[in-house]
């Protein structure tokens, strides 16, 4: 048996195992991700009364809007952030820390800028500020509503997705006939045709979503952040320390997907200061209509005003404002971000379906449904072939395929597996499980052959 044939056999078995055992996790991730990107308009309609107002007239100062929210929620509530109404007809979000909510969640009071009427009281989640419907979908997509432990599933899917995609393409390129032959169409051949067609069509998307999904993961994401930090590729963040310091801090661009409690703010911050802070930030070049203002987390920290418009062109500049003289003490410009930091920002926003608006949503929906269909077709192929495959053939195991390789190639495969397992720990653990299942199956099949 040639080396190429042995390697293809090994790849074929690995592709089969990924499809059989990891396919359901990839399917759930694809389906829930598709639901997430399709629901902004539904969420806007569902919570229209909170998000929009028919009140007309000039907007009242932020201090009065905040005072109205405080009067509604209670003076003891800790103010976390304010998102001024971006456009006429929109409401202002006055967000308060609430220990009864989950990580990255805050309680938002929706205030009419013109009349100070309260239009809604809802929990909001993350930097993206999604409301309960999309929060539920997002958390299901991330971790099946199981918290940090559930995030293993999404990391498992992202870790193997690129391997399945590239492996499938290699298998197709090496197994297709050199010239077209007329073959009788069977359910098996039809399923294979569409499985291969979808795989080739979606290849770039599969690689993209695998890569961006890994940046959000717990263990692989931590390794990616360490690499980016060592290479100076982290996203710059304004320095909020009032003591003299140099250089920007580093910021995690997808903090909205991480389990982080909102920072506790200074409850003594005067409401009228919010207007002065926003005015100072506008004078410093914070131009986007979509902004978030956060007060100091402690006495030695500054205010921050951040642009939160992730559409194209991207507006995510940030200014740090001294609470004493309301001077800008630091500033980050998206235009000055390192190229990798920009690509990371854009990649995350494409992944979430916000960078190009509706076209981005429709493209991701087509991708998500295509990936789901490809997985279903893969299972159909397996089901149709299953009765025709001899379960007692050791050549059908991963172990036998690896043992058929020359020693040098076996060592190379082990080194590659160890390297990937170190960088992608969930992949490494799941590969060990593959091998354990495979060894048991291989031994049982070998015993059957001996008996026969």
Local mean pLDDT, 10-residue blocks, the chain (452 residues): 85 93 97 97 97 95 95 93 97 96 95 98 95 97 93 97 96 78 79 94 97 94 92 91 65 48 44 92 95 94 97 95 94 94 95 95 97 96 72 62 92 96 96 89 71 64
- Cα–Cα distance between 239 and 331 in angstroms, integer? 8
- Cα–Cα distance between 3 and 10 in angstroms, integer? 10
* 221 sits in which H/E element: helix 219-230
Q: Dihedral, CA atoms, 408, 412, 414, 417, nearest 10 degrees?
A: -170
Structure tokens at 96: 């308060």
- Cα–Cα distance between 203 and 367 in angstroms, integer? 10
**Tokens 């007239």 map to which residue?**
57
Most distant CA atoms of the chain, gap in Å: 89
| 124-128 LR contacts (CB < 8 Å, sep 24+) | 124/93, 124/95, 125/256, 126/255, 126/256, 126/257, 127/255, 127/256, 127/292, 127/308, 128/256, 128/310, 128/352, 128/354
Whole-prediction pTM: 0.89
Q: What length is written for the chain?
A: 452
CB-based contact 125:105 (threshold 8 Å): yes
Structure tokens at 15: 């592709």
Across the chain, how many H-helices and E-strands are there?
Answer: 16, 10
């Amino acid at each position: 048996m040639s080396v190429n044939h042995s390697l293809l056999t090994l790849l074929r078995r690995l592709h089969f195992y990924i499809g059989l055992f990891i396919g359901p996790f990839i399917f759930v991730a694809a389906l829930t991700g598709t639901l997430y990107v399709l629901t902004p308009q539904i969420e806007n309609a569902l919570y229209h009364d909170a998000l929009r107002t028919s009140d007309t007239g000039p907007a009242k100062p932020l201090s009065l809007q905040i005072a109205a929210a405080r009067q509604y929620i209670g003076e003891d509530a800790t103010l976390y952030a304010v998102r001024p109404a971006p456009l006429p007809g929109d409401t202002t979000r006055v967000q308060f820390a609430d220990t009864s909510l989950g990580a990255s969640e805050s309680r938002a009071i929706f205030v009419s800028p013109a009349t100070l009427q309260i239009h809604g009281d809802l929990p909001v989640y993350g930097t993206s500020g999604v409301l309960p419907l999309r929060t539920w979908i997002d958390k299901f997509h991330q971790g099946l509503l199981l918290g940090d432990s559930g995030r293993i599933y999404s990391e498992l899917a992202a870790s193997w997705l690129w391997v399945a995609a590239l492996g499938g393409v290699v298998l197709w390129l090496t197994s297709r006939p050199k010239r077209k032959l007329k073959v009788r169409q069977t359910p098996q051949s039809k399923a294979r045709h569409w499985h291969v067609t979808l795989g080739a069509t979606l290849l770039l998307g599969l690689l993209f979503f695998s890569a961006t999904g890994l940046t959000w993961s717990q263990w692989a994401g931590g390794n990616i952040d360490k690499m980016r930090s060592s290479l100076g590729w982290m996203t710059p963040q304004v320095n909020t320390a009032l003591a003299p310091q140099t250089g920007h801090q580093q910021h995690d661009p997808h903090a909205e997907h991480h389990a982080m409690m909102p920072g506790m703010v200074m409850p003594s911050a005067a409401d009228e200061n919010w207007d002065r802070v926003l005015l100072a930030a506008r004078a410093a070049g914070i131009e986007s209509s979509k902004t978030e203002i956060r007060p100091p987390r402690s006495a030695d920290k500054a205010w921050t005003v951040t642009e939160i418009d992730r559409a194209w062109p991207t507006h995510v500049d940030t200014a740090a404002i001294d609470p004493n003289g309301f001077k800008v003490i630091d500033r980050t410009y998206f235009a000055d971000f390192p190229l990798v930091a920009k690509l990371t920002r854009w990649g995350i926003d494409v992944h979430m379906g916000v960078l190009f608006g509706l076209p981005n949503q429709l493209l991701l929906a087509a991708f998500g449904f295509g990936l789901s269909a490809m997985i279903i077709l893969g299972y159909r192929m397996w089901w149709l072939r299953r009765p025709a495959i001899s379960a007692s053939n050791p050549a059908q195991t991963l172990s036998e395929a690896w043992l058929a390789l020359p020693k040098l190639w076996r060592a190379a495969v082990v080194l590659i597996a160890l390297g990937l397992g170190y960088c992608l720990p969930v992949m490494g653990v799941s590969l060990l499980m593959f091998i354990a299942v495979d060894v048991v199956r291989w031994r049982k099949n070998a015993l059957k052959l001996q008996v026969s």
